[in-house]
Structure 1
């Protein structure tokens, strides 16, 4: 019984040190993907009447690391065409296949330009 307690304690300490690592490579991949999408969607040529408008974009990545837009949910009509023209089948620079065949959902907020 004493040996079982010692083994159990070692297992607990070993696994807790694995999860205590501050860098999570999965989050850095998502952050990198989000930053690349922000660059692709930069400087929209859309005029909006309200101070801001929001859209929700659902997409996936194919085996060539290209963005495939699934849905764009927005109240304004032109945003869907804008997002699809800027993002659909654009290649992103990600290493590994960890994001392949996963669906992503991000929000897009467009602010009206100040005159």
Structure 2
């Protein structure tokens, strides 16, 4: 019976600690740069034969707060054109983005 009480107290302690660990300010998708890029790319009409398409996108943010795509490294030319057309010179809303800094983000589109 002593062991059962100890286990119950330990489980209650772990559950309580887990609940407090998940509280706090969580970033929403619209608050961070990758979330905004996700929103720009999520509506697509890819009928890919493969299960997923991937690309590495390098871009900067100019002084006006617009994304400027530097390169899209992918094997699929259609994906490259899609990413460039959806992201190039689109405005992002962030205060902590450094203009002129090169950012790199992986893009994965699944069918």
Give the alignment's TM-score, normalised by structure 1.
0.67
SS in 2 for 1:64: coil
Structure 1 moving runs of 4+ over 2 Å: none
Alignment of 1:29-44 (within 5 A): 32-44=32-44
Structure 2 match to 1:81: 81
Offset from partner CA, 1:54-99 (integer Å, 9 cap, x none): 1110000000000000000111110111011111000000125x41
In structure 2, C-alpha distance between the alignment counterparts of 1:54 and 1:87, rounded to whole Å? 16
- Is the 8 Å Cα contact of residues 53 and 79 (structure 2) preserved in structure 1? no
Structure 2 match to 1:99: 98
- Is the 8 Å Cα contact of residues 58 and 106 (structure 1) preserved in structure 2? yes
* 2:104 matches 1:108: no
In structure 2, C-alpha distance between the alignment counterparts of 1:105 and 1:52, rounded to whole Å? 19
In structure 1, C-alpha distance between the alignment counterparts of 2:40 and 2:53, rounded to whole Å? 18
Alignment of 1:15-34 (within 5 A): 32-34=32-34
Moved more, 70-79 or 45-54: 45-54
Structure 2 match to 1:61: 61
Moved more, 73-82 or 45-54: 45-54
Q: Give the count of matched residue pairs.
A: 83
